[in-house]
């Protein structure tokens, strides 16, 4: 991983942990996580690698359900936060500093599931990461990874055209989503905001790629592409007016062949 990206995530670690707030943002909770949980399936006793674990909220969630979880992240500060929170919540997870594009600390076929939640769109080394996921998975194991939907990527070439603010939801009404140069695969830098509205200390790099690129890279790594989902909000909360019209996320489940 590029040192610049590692340093930026270290600088953003506290702001990111505050944003996640232990359980994920409303978008995670109401749209993304139900799909991830369904695609991962029953976890009792299975070995999960949370590749790019951030502050570890998914690691803790699956550990509470009986999985044997290892979380790895490139940011030393995020790993430190993950360890502290897991200890405070009395959840058993093994956290370590590492690069999802070079999982040298883990043996071949050492996991049943690799989970990578909103990570692959933030790294330059997509193909290497998928090759490493393949290597550390047992035959028949699965990868579940999520990304911001490439066709409606507001961290890349797309944006909402917005109308008046809905005072009940606190959000501006979406008129339409505008996207251009979808096939122009390149990095974008965006500043996230804390829950109070302040900017993160450092920008976050997003690597816009097409759906075809993710599909082809998965096949090239040796995986069978088992499922692709575009999850919708799980409730009728008017807050998610935009997300009921176009998908915010895309989730892949890949399978390593048995032989």
Q: Is 121 inside any structural domain?
A: yes
What is the C-alpha to C-alpha distance for residues 122 and 59, in angstroms, rounded to an integer? 19
Number of structural domains found in the chain: 1
Query: Which of 158, 167, 164 lies closest to 246 in space, CA to CA?
Result: 158
> For residue 9, what pLDDT band results from cuts at 50, 70 and 90?
very high
Alpha helices in 21-75 (DSSP H): 26-27, 33-40, 57-64
pLDDT of 174-186, one tens digit each? 999 999 999 999 9
The phi, psi pair for 254, rounded to 5°, reads -110, 150
Is residue 184 situated within a structural domain?
A: no
Residue 102 sits in a domain whose CATH number is: 3.40.50.150
Domain that holds residue 129: 3-149+193-255
Domain for residue 120, yes or no? yes
Domain assignment present for residue 243? The answer is yes
d(CA 40, CA 237): 26
pLDDT > 80? residue 1: no
User: What are the Cα distances from residue 197, in Å, to 13, 115, 192, 201?
Assistant: 16, 30, 9, 12
Residue 162 lies inside a defined structural domain of this protein: no
- List Cβ neighbours of 197 (8 Å cut-off, separation of 6 or more): none
**For residue range 221-255, what is the model confidence (pLDDT) as tens digits?**
999 999 999 999 999 999 999 999 999 999 999 99
Distance CA 252, CA 223 (A): 11
**175 in a structural domain:** no
Q: Is residue 155 part of a domain?
A: no
């Amino acid at each position: 991983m590029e040192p610049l990206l590692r340093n930026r995530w270290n600088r953003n670690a506290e702001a990111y942990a505050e944003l996640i707030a232990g359980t994920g943002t409303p978008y995670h909770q109401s749209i993304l996580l139900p799909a991830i949980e369904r695609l991962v399936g029953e976890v009792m006793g299975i070995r999960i690698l949370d590749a790019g674990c951030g502050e570890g909220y998914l690691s803790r969630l699956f550990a509470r359900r009986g999985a044997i979880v290892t979380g790895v992240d490139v940011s030393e500060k995020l790993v430190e936060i993950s360890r502290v929170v897991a200890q405070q919540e009395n959840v058993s997870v093994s956290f370590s500093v590492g690069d999802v594009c070079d999982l040298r600390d883990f043996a071949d076929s050492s996991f049943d599931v690799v989970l990578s939640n909103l990570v692959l769109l933030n790294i330059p080394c997509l193909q290497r990461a998928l090759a490493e996921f393949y290597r550390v998975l047992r035959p028949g194991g699965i990868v579940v990874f999520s990304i911001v939907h490439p066709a409606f990527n507001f961290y890349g070439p797309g944006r909402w055209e917005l109308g008046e603010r809905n005072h009940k939801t606190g959000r501006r009404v979406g008129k339409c989503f505008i996207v251009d140069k979808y096939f122009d695969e390149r990095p974008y830098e965006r500043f996230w905001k804390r829950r109070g509205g302040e900017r993160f200390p450092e920008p976050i790099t997003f690597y816009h790629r097409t759906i075809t690129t993710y599909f082809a890279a998965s096949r090239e790594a040796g995986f069978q592409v088992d499922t692709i989902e575009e999850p919708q909000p799980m409730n009728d909360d008017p807050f998610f007016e935009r997300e009921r019209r176009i998908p915010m996320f895309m989730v892949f489940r890949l399978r390593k062949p048995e032989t």
